[in-house]
A and B are shown apart, each in its own frame.
Chain A
């Protein structure tokens, strides 16, 4: 079972916790073990230590990058809503789903409060 470095919670526990408690001020940090390899419109995040590669599409990469800059969830959503006004309705849910996936894959870490 994978444990989050910062909280000691199991991944599944963590995801449930994120979903139920993620407030708009929640922040995340990038797992520095992962490096970036850019393909045309896609990204591969890879960790040699774990022999693990995580494929991200353009949107997921954007969310990963914004989260890595220390912005709160609320700010991530508002930045993306600004960038994609036509998808504004779905952005909050899409961002949360993407962040859950990024945390599950270990490339994002829930920051300590």
Chain B
């Protein structure tokens, strides 16, 4: 039976409406945005239409009369829609500093993992979540200008490239319905990794710039404020929306929050290394 309807999705009070034409399309939207749904009466920035047509459905994504995707890959469709929602979430967003970053909460303390695509931030976040840290995001976190620098995450399924899938083979579930596989990787419901989850906006307590290098023994070094600020600029995506481009705030964060450069490949040395260096209490540490 066809089921039509819509969801409002987004974050930082920036929402888009996505309509669907069948239960399969609705399931996809629930998989992608279950942590970022909004009340139906919120104002919307744009409307997208998701259409699944046929027994082996031809999939399409539309924004008004412009088609954004037309094909048969659910993964590619999901990827396109996710990028649209993120774009709308950042565009004109001045709620804080939007950082291209993963994030986790550890004992109520936020750890930001900024980095470009391929830096290993999703891999590290997944590994931490598998060890009972709370998932926040693998892609985008807004850091508020509040004194406590609250982390406002865009929480979505974890998106892993093929190399990460191989690196995390021991952690990832072998099967299940909460996967979306594509040619270049997969999207995975984070609750498959750690069922304990509630949406949270913890205070930022540490910044770790990950760099994944296959088979490398993990190393961590403390960064100076200026070095961290230069590095964080590379992942700072909404500067034009903020007074003074937000540089004073970015510098304030880097002066007050300890920052680290983490190179890793072999995961087995991470628990001790992180516990010994970061100012948070990891679930695996004992008093």
Contact = CB atoms under 8 A, between A and B. Distances in A.
Interface stretch (A9-17, A50-58, A64-72, A90-98): A50-58
Contacts of B280: none
Main secondary structure of the interface of B (DSSP, over half): helix
A42 B224 contact: yes
B234 A40 contact: no
Given A35-B247, A37-B226, A46-B247, 14 more contacts: A37-B229, A37-B247, A37-B248, A37-B251, A39-B224, A39-B226, A42-B226, A44-B251, A48-B245, A52-B233, A53-B232, A53-B233, A53-B234, A55-B227
Given A39-B255, A48-B239, A55 B247 contact: no
A43 interface: yes
A44 B234 contact: no
B226 A44 contact: yes
A105 to B, nearest CB: 11
Q: Which one of B229, B230, B236, B239 has the highest number of Cβ atoms from chain A below 10 Å of its Cβ?
A: B230
A44 B232 CA distance: 12
Contacts of A51: 233-234, 236, 239
Interface residues of B, number: 19
Centre residue among B229, B234, B255 by max chain A CB count within 10 A: B229
Contact of B225 (A35, A39, A48, A54): A39
Interface string A10-35: 00000000000000000000000001
Interface in B196-232: 224-227, 229-232
Closest 6 pairs (CB-CB, A-B): A53-B230, A42-B226, A53-B233, A39-B226, A39-B225, A55-B230
A53 B224 CA distance: 14
5 contacts: A39-B229, A39-B254, A46-B230, A48-B245, A51-B233
Contacts of B255: 39
A49 B5 CA distance: 42
A43 B229 CA distance: 10
B247 A48 contact: yes
Contacts of B226: 37, 39, 42-44, 55-56
Contacts of A52: 233
Contacts of B233: 46, 51-53
A52 B247 CA distance: 11
Nearest to A40: B225
B211 to A, nearest CB: 17
A32 to B, nearest CB: 16
Nearest to B236: A51
A74 to B, nearest CB: 30
B15 to A, nearest CB: 27
A54 B255 CA distance: 16
B229 A44 contact: yes
A15 to B, nearest CB: 21
> Which of A42, A43, A44, A52: most chain B CB closer than 10 A?
A44
Contacts of A53: 229-234
Nearest to A43: B226
A51 B229 CA distance: 12
A12 to B, nearest CB: 22
Contacts of A35: 247
Nearest to B237: A51
A56 B251 CA distance: 15
